[in-house]
Amino acid sequence: MPQRLVVTGRSQEPRARFSEELRRLRSERGLSLRDLAKEVGWDASQFSKMESGQTLGGPEVVQALDQFYGTPGLLVTLWELAVADPTQFKEQYRRYMLLEAEAISLWQYSVSRPPGLLQTAGYAREALAAGGLRGEELDQQVEARTGRRSVLEGSDPPPFRVLLSEAVLRNSLRNPREWRGQLERLAEAAVQPNITLHVLPFGVGLHGLDSTDVMFLRLPNGRTVAYVENDVRGELVEELSQVERFHRTYDAVRDQALSPAESHKFILRMLEEVPCEPST
């Protein structure tokens, strides 16, 4: 790969470049973090974390900064590049993330957890913490995971078909508020025009994906790849016959699942079972 041509002397890594630009713009205005917080309306600690690269922040705060600095679209564009940057993911996932970002259609079966593309920040945080992440690394990986939702956004998002084992909807979080938020996210996704969601209820019997999560990506060149994952390892599958075998298994599982309308009602019933927070 040819070396990148350095013109500005600024960082060539999206996340670092975003933080660098935030620091530069504030410095040129001669503002302290506290001054900036007063002007824009967010906590100074939020801007400190964004400028140090600990967090990317959300689109609302970035849009507010664009407006304040008079840089229409610049910071939002840098933020989008940083969110989509595959280097923020662990190395073993980076090739898959590059393919996911360019996919023109997606299919997934989830055994016990919501698909990463549909996870809320609260769910992602508890799931990643359960895997041993802590501190700054945990914050960065939560942002990386929730940033993947941009794949399903925009004016012409790709179609996404999701099969959820009922176990996904039964394996709740410790925090009822966060669990309610995750179920609400799934209920919202179920009625989005580009998302088709099926629930595979308990009692359908054994099937070929009992212990395996699988995601299929249809790429612009017409090729389909699969990413399969179980409790001990994940693998990107590109060989045509293997992908086809997994796809036939996926189709057989889908045939046993509830219809999209029934699945939406199922999720709403699960929401009714989550205790409401006491009124204050």
- Residue 93 shares a structural domain with residue 205: yes
Under 8 Å between Cβ of 66 and 76: yes
pLDDT score at 12: 66
Claim to verify: residue 95 and residue 51 sit in the same structural domain: no
For residue 255, being part of any structural domain is answered with yes
Domain membership flag for residue 121: no
Q: What is the per-residue pLDDT for 102? A: 86
pLDDT at 16: 83
Q: Cα(64)–Cα(70) distance, rounded to whole angstroms? A: 10
Q: How many domains does the chain have?
A: 2
Hey, what long-range contacts does 201-204 have (CB within 8 A, 24 or more apart)? 201/166, 201/257, 201/258, 201/266, 202/166, 202/167, 204/256, 204/257
Name 213's bridge partners. Answer: 229
User: For every one of its 280 residues, what pLDDT tens digit does the chain have, with 9 covering 90 and above?
Assistant: 445 444 455 666 887 888 899 999 999 999 999 999 999 988 888 888 888 876 777 778 889 999 999 998 899 888 877 776 666 655 666 788 778 888 999 999 999 999 999 999 999 999 999 988 898 888 888 888 888 888 888 778 999 999 999 999 999 999 999 999 999 999 999 999 999 999 999 999 999 999 999 999 999 989 999 999 876 678 999 999 999 999 999 999 999 999 999 999 999 999 999 887 654 4
Note whether 201 and 270 are within 8 A (CB). Answer: no
Last residue of a domain, one of 33, 67, 84: 84
In a domain, 36, yes or no: yes
Q: What is the model's pLDDT at position 4?
A: 46
Task: Indicate which CATH number applies to the domain containing 42.
Answer: 1.10.260.40
- For residue 226, which of 209, 197, 249, 246 has the smallest C-alpha distance? 246
Residues 49 and 101 in one domain: no
Domain shared by 165 and 42, yes or no: no
Choose the final residue of a domain: 35, 69, 84: 84
102 and 68 housed in the same domain: no
- Within the chain, strands assigned E span 105-110, 160-165, 195-200, 213-218, 224-229, 234-237
Alpha-carbon distances, residue 253 vs 121, 172, 207, 250, 277 (angstroms): 29, 23, 7, 5, 36
- Does 102 lie in the same domain as 32? no
Same domain, 269 and 226: yes
Same domain, 96 and 211: yes
Residue 148: the pLDDT is 82
Q: Which of 84, 100, 135 is the last residue before a domain boundary?
A: 84
Taking the C-alpha atoms of residue 254 and residue 250, their distance in angstroms, rounded to an integer, is 6
pLDDT of residue 76: 86
- Local structure of residue 86 (DSSP, 8 states): G
Determine the structural domain holding residue 210 and report its residue range: 87-114+157-273
* Same domain, residue pair 230 and 106: yes
Q: Are residue 37 and residue 104 in the same domain, yes or no?
A: no
pTM listed for this prediction: 0.71
Q: Are residues 228 and 259 in the same domain?
A: yes
> What pLDDT is stored for residue 7 in this prediction?
44
The pLDDT, as a whole number, for residue 109 is 98
80 shares its domain with 18: yes
